[in-house]
Amino acid sequence: MSVSKLVKQVLLLKLLLLCAITVFAQNKPSNTGKVKAKIVSAQLSHFRYLSNQANVIFAPQAGFREIKALNNEDFTFDYAMDLPGREFEVWYVVRSQKENWASYERVIGDEKLKLENPDSIYMDMGRAHAIALTGERNFFIRTLPASVLNRYNADAGRSYLLNLLDMPETKRYRYALLLSLQKFRTGTIMMVCFTNSKTPEFYKNVERAGSCVKFRHNVQNVSKLTD
């Protein structure tokens, strides 16, 4: 075979190979522009539903991992997260108070049907959980200042620093900081942060957990309650 014919065959083979590669590339499925759908757990889906009902925004921050929220005869929480390797967990409860307000307004002035002002529920909820978690009635309570309330778009709130009972339900954590927040005529947020050591890192993690949740901003035309 002459060199000329050999060169022609080599060029022909290269051309056929190039065509085959081009056809394969054109027919290969492209992932460009496609974003994998993020799987949302049933727990998160339900928590977002409750949050919407209470005019609450929930946006979990990077680093947090969803865990199963405690829900039994003694404790009912809606959502929970931890920081892996940090001995830190946060449990949330959100409740709409809109229906309670509708009921309250229907019976205002009726001496036989006295109902508690729904905007005080955050105090009762916080205290009840603090007692259940500690087995005591004496714990450090702080009325949250405006600078803290503004972070959550809340109108009122309290914090409770707790020494916990040794319970398997709380994974035998030693301490907790409980925050109970109220948006008047709207809803309640309760957040419990667990730790085994009250270090500066713990309080930084509390701020991170708090930054995941807040009320939607809106103007309230009601008189604020005082603690």
Q: Which residues pair with 158 in a beta bridge?
A: 143, 180
Percent of the chain surpassing pLDDT 70: 77
Residue 25 or 91, more confident: 91
Reported as a pLDDT band with limits 50, 70 and 90, residue 115 is confident
What is the model's pLDDT at position 227? 45
Which residues have C-beta within 8 Å of that of residue 14, sequence separation ≥ 6?
none
What class is the 42-215 domain? alpha beta
CB 68 within 8 A of CB 177: no
Instruction: Compute the average pLDDT of residues 159-169.
Output: 97
What number of CA atoms fall less than 13 Å from residue 142's CA on the CB side? 12
| Domain ranges across the chain | 42-215
Overall average pLDDT of the 143-170 stretch: 97
For 150, the token pair is: 């503004």
pLDDT-derived band at 110 (thresholds 50, 70, 90) equals low
What integer pLDDT is reported at residue 90 of this predicted model? 98
Token pair recorded at residue 68? 């199963």
pLDDT band at 29 (very low <50, low <70, confident <90, very high): low
Q: Which of 27-41, 54-68, 212-226 has the lowest mean pLDDT?
A: 27-41
For residue 208, the model assigns a pLDDT of 97
> Range with the lowest mean pLDDT among 30-39, 86-95, 165-174, 202-211?
30-39
Rounded average pLDDT over 196-216: 97
Among 224, 149, 154, CA closest to 188? 154
The tens digit of pLDDT for each residue in 148-160 reads 999 999 999 999 9
